[in-house]
Structures are given as structure tokens and as C-alpha cells.
Amino acid sequence: MSNIVAIVGRPNVGKSTLFNRLIGSRKAIVNEESGVTRDRNYGKSEWNGKEFSVIDTGGYVSNSDDIFEEEINKQVLLAIEEADVILFMVDTEIGLTDLDQNFAKLLRNIQKPIYLVANKVDTSERIYDASEFYRLGINSDLFCISSANGFGTGELLDKITSHFQTDSVESTDHLPRITIVGRPNVGKSSTINALIGEERNIVTEIAGTTRDSLYTRYNRFGHDFLLVDTAGLRKKAKVNEDVEFYSVMRSVRAIEDSDVCMLLIDATRGMEAQDLNIFHLIERNRKGVVILINKWDLIEKDNKTTLLFEKEIREKIAPFRDVDIIFTSALTKQRLLKALEATLKVYENRTQKLKTSELNRVMLEAIENYPPPMVKGKSVKIKYVTQLPTHAPSFAFYCNLPQYVKETYKRFLENKIRENWDFTGVPIQIFMRKK
């Protein structure tokens, strides 16, 4: 269902260079997107109209050649579990090493598409050197590329994206898909159990088998939706509890498979860096979000506690502040239904299609009252606006000089939209187009 590619390989083979190239190519395409943020390990890319996610599993592993087998294991396991296509990268400059062999041993028998990528083929002579990598016994085509200058990457991308579907299958005729995400121990399973009202058996899964997200149909209190079951994620997360990066990466698929995420924060800890990482994952995937401050029963409260808490969180998630924050307890079931209702409202917000006439009436007036600033003596004239037929809300503003419209002005337009229509919990994209 999802389109996820993971890059694995020993340190220094050039994983992040390829990662940056893949993400960079998207950045060039969508540089008009408001608030593009980047991440060392996770990003979105696009090739031939297919959007996909890239995970660089490196960078976390200590940056020396003497890394432990255990680390390799974790990296490979992560790729196997989370990715749909795996790129195993080696370095033609250095040639075949023992560490490559260790990786190969783990990767040899997995049941997912895997491609051997010989990097640093900066000149065509190096292609001949690369043939030694066939000795790794990886049953795949060998791709010779140069992450640095881009040689061979087009062919590789053609191959990778042949496994992916266009427009990663968000159909609109399905029930809302809700996922509960958050770091280890925040109370995800307790919340699911409190909502579903029974302890469920957790199916043990075997590493190396494909794991698609499981959905539980929830049909109660007049609500009907699918809860993406993160039981599998939860179980495995325990193994790597110590490792921040892995537990964030483990949320990737669950987030991609959903429409709206309930992001759980531990009230006793507040919103920390890792929580924020997950928040940004959701935002970058343009999914809806509601923030639940769980374990609220453990907090000593006075009349200002919630306000302060909320304020602090909104500062952290800025500029995307228009998000519901709900104080819950899986233990006492406090406000769980409220949280559910907010989540389903976000789904509604995210799927609404604004009427073009009304959109133009409101926005053109706002623009007239506060036009984009002149640039080099020229004035930018915005003529009309439409909502694009995308899953996540995006708006195109047609004007004479799109390149002159700055981020701050796009922010103004976004805020105006939010003031006039309810897009709470929903990331919005603003595009300026030439007309």
C-alpha cells in the first residue's frame, strides 16, 4: 500500500548523498510548497509522477568501520519491516569489504525487492570494478550509480518506482482510517483497548514476512471508522526502546496508511524532541492530526495547568498551530470520546472541498485589502484561486509573477483560509501558479 524505499549499507558508502539527491529532486519540484522541512533520515521524493518515501537507515549507526553486528541487524530489520523496496549500497571506490558481506548475509533471503547499488561510479571505467559485488550473492540487478554526480540514478529510480503505485492509493470512498501514534510507553495500546473495550490478542509476526497494517473496524456510538492496528509496531518497538530513531521510523508506515493520526504525548514528560519528530512526520505526509495529552490523571492541576500546557505545545509545533489538543487518560477513559470526535472532525475537514465561487469571493477580498508587497517595482496580481483535486487540501493561486510571492505572504493566505473555513488539524499547501 505504501511506497517506501530504504537505503542500507555500511557507513560511508554514500547513503546520505543518495538520500539527499532523491529528496533534493523533489525539493526542486515542490519548492513552492509552504514550510518544506527536511530531516536527516526521512523524506519524500517523486519520480515519474509517483510519490514515495525514502528512509536512510544510516547515520544512526556509529560512524566508524567497527560497527557491531547488532547494529547491522537493527538497520536491516528496520528496512525489512518498514520498506517496500530496499537498496543495498556498496562502494566501488573501496571495493568489497567484510562489513558488506555481513549485510549481505542478512539481506540474502528476504522476500522483498532488493537492489544492489554500487555507488561512486563517477566514471564509466568504474563499472568494471563493480562486477566484484556479484560475489555478495544478492539475487538482484546491479545498479552502478554516482550519488555525487547523478550517473545511473534515473535508471535506478525507474526500477524502484516500478514497484509503486501512482498517488499512493488514498481512495476517498473508504472509511476514515485512524492511527494512534506516539513514542514507546505513552499509552497507545491502553488507548486502543479503552476505545475498543477489550484486551486483544497480539499476533506474533515473523521477521522477514511482509507486514501490512491491520485495520480494526470500529462501529459504535454512531461512529464508523477503521483503526489502524499498531500492535505489531508496538511489539517490535520494545526491542529497540533505547533507540529514538528507530521508534520514530517505525511510525512511518502507520502514518502513511492513515487519514488522521492521534498523536499521544505523555503528560508527565511533555512534548519532547521525539514527539515533535513524529508530529513533523505526520505534517510532512499531510495527514490530519489531533494531539492527545495522555496520562492526564497523573498531573497535579490548578486552573492554569491546561492553558500553560497548550501554549507550550503550540509554540513547539509552530507554524502549524491549528491543531486540537485534548487532555486524556486511557486509564480513567477521560475525554476519549471527545478525542475520537475531534479526530473524525479532522477527517471531515481534510476531505472537504470548498466551493470555488465562495473561495474566490473571500480570498480575493482579503488579497485586495492586503496585497502582496511589490518586488523590484512590480506588483503581483493574484487573479483567482482554486482548490486542487488532491487528497490533502491544497490551493493554487494564479497570478502574473508567482516567483515573487514570499513564504510570509503564503502564510497569510493560509491563515485567511483557516479563518474562514475549518481546517483544524489539517496541513494545507499553498501553490502560486503562473497565469
* Minimum CB distance to ligand GTP, residue 55 (Å): 12
* Minimum CB distance to ligand GTP, residue 314 (Å): 22
Instruction: Tell me the C-alpha distance between 18 and 58, whole Å.
Output: 12
| Binding of ligand GTP by 216 (CB under 6 A) | no
421 assigned to a ligand binding site: no
259 within 8 A of 171, measured Cβ to Cβ = no
Q: Which secondary structure element, helix H or strand E, spans residue 46, and what is its range?
A: strand 42-47
Q: Closer to ligand GTP by CB, 146 or 179: give it.
A: 146
Contacts of 390 (CB under 8 A, 6+ apart): 429
179 assigned to a ligand binding site: no
Instruction: Tell me the C-alpha distance between 170 and 260, whole Å.
Output: 12
What are residue 382's phi and psi, to 5 degrees?
A: -90, 125
75 DSSP 8-state letter: H
Piece of the chain touching ligand GTP by CB under 6 A; list 152-160, 180-188, 214-222, 275-283: 180-188
| Order of all β-strands in the sheet with 325-327 | 214-220, 223-229, 177-181, 260-266, 288-294, 325-327
217 assigned to a ligand binding site: no
The backbone region for 222, taken as left when phi is positive above 0, alpha when psi lies in -120 to 50, beta otherwise, is left
- In whole angstroms, what separates CA 12 from the centre of its chain? 25
* Minimum CB distance to ligand GTP, residue 65 (Å): 10
Q: Which secondary structure element, helix H or strand E, spans residue 373, and what is its range?
A: none
| Binding of ligand GTP by 184 (CB under 6 A) | yes
Give the position of cell 560475489.
135
| Binding of ligand GTP by 278 (CB under 6 A) | no
Contacts of 201 (CB under 8 A, 6+ apart): none
* Minimum CB distance to ligand GTP, residue 10 (Å): 7
* Minimum CB distance to ligand GTP, residue 73 (Å): 16
Q: Of 152, 187, 288, 427, which lies in the binding site for ligand GTP, with binding defined by CB under 6 A?
A: 187
Q: Closer to ligand GTP by CB, 155 or 315: give it.
A: 155
189 assigned to a ligand binding site: yes
The number of helix segments (H) and strand segments (E) in the chain equals: 14, 15
Q: What 3-state class would DSSP assign to 205? A: coil
Q: Of 188, 250, 253, 335, which lies in the binding site for ligand GTP, with binding defined by CB under 6 A?
A: 188
Restricting to residues 2-61, which ones interact with ligand GTP according to CB under 6 A? 9, 11-17, 58-59
What pairs with residue 293 in β-bridges?
Answer: 265, 327
| Binding of ligand GTP by 250 (CB under 6 A) | no
Contacts of 425 (CB under 8 A, 6+ apart): 260, 288, 289, 290, 322, 323, 324, 342, 345, 346, 349, 350
Give the position of cell 486542487.
388
Instruction: Tell me, residue by residue from 114 to 133, as one string, x for binding to ligand GTP by CB under 6 A and - for no binding.
Output: -----xx-x-----------
Piece of the chain touching ligand GTP by CB under 6 A; list 44-52, 129-137, 195-203, 230-238: 230-238
* Minimum CB distance to ligand GTP, residue 295 (Å): 4
304 assigned to a ligand binding site: no
Instruction: Tell me the C-alpha distance between 57 and 200, whole Å.
Output: 32
Q: Of 110, 127, 142, 148, which lies in the binding site for ligand GTP, with binding defined by CB under 6 A?
A: 148
Q: Of 226, 237, 271, 367, which lies in the binding site for ligand GTP, with binding defined by CB under 6 A?
A: 237
| Binding of ligand GTP by 294 (CB under 6 A) | yes
Q: What is the dihedral of CA 117, 121, 125, 127, to 10 degrees?
A: 0
| Binding of ligand GTP by 331 (CB under 6 A) | yes
Q: Of 251, 329, 394, 429, which lies in the binding site for ligand GTP, with binding defined by CB under 6 A?
A: 329
State the residues that interact with ligand GTP by CB under 6 A. Answer: 9, 11-17, 58-59, 63, 119-120, 122, 146-148, 182, 184-190, 234, 237-238, 294-295, 297-298, 329-331
Residue list, annotated binding site for GTP: 9-16, 56-60, 119-122, 182-189, 229-233, 294-297
Residue list, annotated binding site: 9-16, 56-60, 119-122, 182-189, 229-233, 294-297
